Chains A and B, each alone.
Chain A
């Protein structure tokens, strides 16, 4: 089962669940090797979708890690120089595989440490564009070459994004900024490749049409297509930057609108410690950083009705004292109040009101559970409770990698009596990344807090008092804001 969890390469577990369900219904025998294949299959999904995609991209850092002049030379020599180079490198499904690999890059369950290390480098590992190619994109988008559009332009990228790269620059009015430049032609290529739903299905090792799978692929396509248009990302970032304006620990870099287009997005330059550096920080600092990430995730969800579907360690910068800068809003899901309500009801009935029947009814209302599922409510609660373990009871609790893995495992537990009666509606597919992303990150920080007390602050149906010093500071900040500001969405 552990291996099968790895099949969640696109950040939503229901695919694997659907796959498992199908497999139980119709066992297939493949030339006498069925048993081995079954065991290998979850792995195979990951391998096909990621093994190649990631290693392919993942070797770049090793090359760039070579020393000094030699390193710069190699970087220049391997850089993508023309739109044709981009098409060769990222066309024919390779860009899509890279996106899938990126999305899988912090899912730990079922991955060997070696694969995981490679995955964690993915964010910074795509081959860069040559200075000339990147400048050409900027010129097309902004109407003038970067040397004219900016007072200073650094032709060497400081980071690679999955479909673009980031350059430092100084604006004509003197602001230090980060400019994300998209690979030329990549949006068209990926959009075309995402049309091949049949192949996407095969890549996910799912060979039979299923409503769940189609929902999943549909959601993946929507999110990736949105990510290809940087104007969408700029909108998301503006929304959240406004929402957290002045927040004591959460910082979102502002967008420079006049220098942002479909393929170029310019934001304030942020600096800070990377996630990997936190390993050397005190546990107290790690706890504070985790608390900020936790507050950001659920305040965004419950107040801004927005969820960042890419809670990747590479998208955080740490400043000490719990202050965190959040980067990259290309993959943000916006929820309607109607979509959020059943989710909040589930939390409230299970964790606050202790009303199992209400919990079950909300699960059915949300579309998670079939109304006619022949299961006792006790069974339903027993198998769902693990997802709420961190907030069911008050008191300090330490997040661990084991907990994150247990949540993922439970989600894919084919032996669960719930397996054949549950599904995840399309709107909620991305939420599974709370389990796969947030909890994995907090687990890696081995963060301790009274998560229940913090959650109570955030839950709109509780609005509990500040539970921590950070909560106090946050309450003061909230009190200082104009009335109604918290409902920006």
Chain B
């Protein structure tokens, strides 16, 4: 298979937005696993979120077994946008949904993972999607990317809020099937864990093809494609040097205040387009109202 076999990415924004809007509950029975006072809610609304998402996919894909599971089993190549939208909806449900809704969504993912196993053609190693080690890698990349992207392009978290965020997110890993004891619960633990996995990482052909696709998705609306160039540059610039080297991406120019402002402006335009999709603004407002109520309380 070549990268050309991927389906077009049209409606990436619209479909992600629809998944997001429908996953933020209207009259929730409880505050879910995080709640309106959490760092996780704040970070989910951060301007840098698209950079965080793309960066975490770039890092996740470097684990050959995690990548093989996606590449060989999911409908990733046939419907990459659908797959991304589903992931976006899942994360939104976990973050903002009621506990019951989050548990249902997680149970569904665990069920799907039960049937995903095989042999990675590059390393020859067996894999199973339900393997906590793989799930933990995916989790760690997501959590760390949120912190790094906010630091560079959004509203940076303080050191203590970063620690708090890592600790808050432990439950997300648990929900999908990682034993609590395995999950990093502080920034230091997270860094140590990522370092410990690095020897296993490599850029397989499947990873390269997937990321080539994501960095320049064919068929995006042209206006969004323009903006995506900045998101891509920001995500690559936000990668750790070792990850960039595995992919062979050239080192980014140093991030000047001017360039940072430009990227934030591009992210603002993208966010505005996103907000223009049906239901997104209302979902944001539901979240804002709950966060404000929590702040007053």
Q: Please report A residues at the B interface, Cβ cutoff 8 Å.
A: 30-31, 33, 37, 40-41, 44-45, 47-48, 51-56, 59, 63, 74, 77-78, 88, 91-94, 97, 192-193, 196, 198-199, 202-203, 205, 207
Contact in complex: A31, B276 (CB < 8 Å): no
Contact residue among B226, B273, B289 (Cβ-Cβ distance under 8 Å from A51): B273
Q: Given contacts A192-B261, A199-B262, are A92 and B268 in contact (CB under 8 A)?
A: yes
Contact in complex: A91, B222 (CB < 8 Å): no
- Across the interface, name the chain B residue whose C-beta is closest to A204: B223
B residues 250-290 near A (Cβ < 8 Å) are 261-262, 264-269, 271-276, 281-282, 285, 288-289
Contact in complex: B281, A78 (CB < 8 Å): no
CA A55 to CA B271, docked complex, whole Å: 12
Of all A-B residue pairs in the complex, the 4 with the closest CB atoms, nearest first, are A92-B268, A52-B272, A52-B276, A93-B268
Prevailing SS type, chain A contact patch: helix
Contact in complex: B223, A48 (CB < 8 Å): yes
Besides A54-B276, A78-B289, A92-B268, 10 more A-B contacts (Cβ < 8 Å) are A45-B223, A47-B223, A56-B276, A63-B285, A77-B293, A78-B292, A92-B264, A193-B268, A196-B265, A202-B226
Contact residue among A78, A202, A207 (Cβ-Cβ distance under 8 Å from B285): A78
- Across the interface, name the chain A residue whose C-beta is closest to B224: A48
> Shortest CB–CB separation between residue A273 and chain B, in angstroms?
30
Contact in complex: B218, A92 (CB < 8 Å): no
Contact in complex: A92, B265 (CB < 8 Å): yes
Residues of A near B267 (CB, < 8 A) are 92
Contact in complex: A94, B268 (CB < 8 Å): yes
Residues of A near B218 (CB, < 8 A) are 31
Residues of B near A45 (CB, < 8 A) are 223
Interface CB pairs A-B, < 8 A, 14: A30-B222, A51-B276, A52-B276, A59-B281, A63-B285, A77-B293, A78-B285, A78-B289, A78-B292, A88-B47, A94-B268, A193-B268, A198-B262, A202-B227
- In the complex, how many residues of chain B place their beta carbon closer than 8 angstroms to a beta carbon of chain A? 31
Q: Tell me if B28 is interfacial: C-beta within 8 Å of chain A.
A: no
Contact in complex: B223, A205 (CB < 8 Å): yes
Residues of B near A41 (CB, < 8 A) are 222
Q: Given contacts A55-B275, A192-B261, are A48 and B269 in contact (CB under 8 A)?
A: yes
Residues of A near B261 (CB, < 8 A) are 192, 196
The winner among A63, A74, A199 for most chain B CB atoms within 10 A is A199
Residues of B near A52 (CB, < 8 A) are 269, 271-276
CA A52 to CA B284, docked complex, whole Å: 14
CA A198 to CA B292, docked complex, whole Å: 36
Q: Given contacts A52-B276, A77-B293, A94-B272, are A199 and B285 in contact (CB under 8 A)?
A: no
Contact in complex: A78, B288 (CB < 8 Å): yes
CA A192 to CA B268, docked complex, whole Å: 13
Q: Tell me if B189 is interfacial: C-beta within 8 Å of chain A.
A: no
CA A394 to CA B226, docked complex, whole Å: 50
CA A312 to CA B254, docked complex, whole Å: 45
Contact residue among B221, B222, B269 (Cβ-Cβ distance under 8 Å from A93): B269
Residues of A near B271 (CB, < 8 A) are 52, 92, 94
- Across the interface, name the chain B residue whose C-beta is closest to A200: B265
Q: Tell me if B219 is interfacial: C-beta within 8 Å of chain A.
A: yes
> Shortest CB–CB separation between residue B113 and chain A, in angstroms?
34
- Across the interface, name the chain A residue whose C-beta is closest to B226: A202
Contact in complex: A91, B289 (CB < 8 Å): no
Residues of A near B269 (CB, < 8 A) are 48, 52, 93, 97, 199, 203
